[in-house]
Amino acid sequence: MYCSTCGTLIPDKASFCPECGSPVSSGGSRDSSEAEAFASQEAETIPVPDASPAPDVVPVPGAPSKGEPKPRHGAVTLGLCILLVGLAFIFQVIGAIIAYFAALDLDFMVTVFGAIGACLGVCIMGGERMLLPDRASLLYAWKEGWWVVAVSLILALLEAVSTIVEGETLFTSGWLLRSLGVLALCLGVGVSEEAAFRGLLFEGMLDATGKHKRGIVAAAVVSSLLFGMAHVVGSFDFRNALDVAQGVLKTVQTGTYGFFLAALVLKTRKLWGAVLLHALDDFLLMLPSVGLQGLEIDLQYVSAGEDAIPTIILYSVIIICYLPLVWRGIRMLREVDAPQLGEFHRG
């Protein structure tokens, strides 16, 4: 028989339950079926452990999430950007080699391959969005930068009038095709230099110094001065005062323009507005002599002899004309909030 209290099997002739000690009575036992029912009832009351999933692991503060790139120090970003500017220069060398062996135009091939190398560098750093144009950024660039186009147009008209006054022919044979070629060349120059200086150097400096307003301004100023120096490095004699004056003024003139373009890129987060302003500026300045007259491209920004003083005066006048651009650049920098760590920031 079975104990009526706990359901344990009780040996025959036992007076007490060996499990719970309850006395055995004639009416207190149950048959095996009753005991099994009792045991199953007790089993239903046994608590089942919670099968809910374990809570997620709390992420460590500052650690990258799964699938996200690891943080990178701003100085490392800047160093990589400088190396990629070197990559663009290597592409220019490749373009020059191809032009030599294929008997192609040297200036065009160097410019095109330089543009490809600089854009590739921007993409490698993760800034491909800067290369995608949009209507809003282009309209904003024209609204803020039309002044530089106006200055270039006036200079081009003055050069054309001077050519006519001196009795020279302004429109020579093939001027239309040459002008279209100059336009394509200037567009390549705009892409190449903007991707290198505003895309790589400026964005790299922002990642290193853009946590505060002063760092943002410093990145714009330093990258612009490097842009200006790139146009005159190695082209003048430091022992000649007139050469030095021209080199300094050309650096300042190009640097003020570059400062405005840096602020424009920071404001719009796009390169194409700066590219088109840059290309149109160069095209207007090259159109009278190279496009219309068919003269050779002159990239010598430091003049010698009797042309030195007029060049110094010209650069000084252009700097004065560019002062509104500087003011607009300062205003755009004031409108952005810190930090501005650029398109290449990780962390």
pLDDT in tens, 245-261: 999 999 999 999 999 99
Model pLDDT for residues 210-258, shown as the tens digit of each residue: 999 999 999 999 999 999 999 998 877 888 999 999 999 999 999 999 9
Model pLDDT for residues 8-21, shown as the tens digit of each residue: 777 776 676 777 76
Q: For the chain, give the percent of residues with pLDDT over 70.
A: 84
pLDDT exceeds 90 at position 38: no
Q: SS3 sequence, the chain?
A: CECCCCCCECCCCCCECCCCCCECCCCCCECHHHHHHHHHHHHHCCCCCCCCCCCCCCCCCCCCCCCCCCCECHHHHHHHHHHHHHHHHHHHHHHHHHHHHHCCCHHHHHHHHHHHHHHHHHHHCCCHHHHCCCHHHHHHHHHHHHHHHHHHHHHHHHHHHHHHHCCCCCCCCCHHHHHHHHHHHHHHHHHHHHHHHHHHHHHHHHHHHCCCHHHHHHHHHHHHHHHHHHCCCCCCCCCCHHHHHHHHHHHHHHHHHHHHHHHHHHHHCCCHHHHHHHHHHHHHHHHHHHHHCCCCCCCCCCCCHHHHHHHHHHHHHHHHHCHHHHHHHHHHHHHCCCCCCCCCCEC
Query: Can you give the residue ranges of every domain in the chain?
Result: 1-40, 133-335
Average pLDDT, the chain: 87
Mean pLDDT of the 137-165 span? 96
For the whole model, what pTM was predicted?
0.79
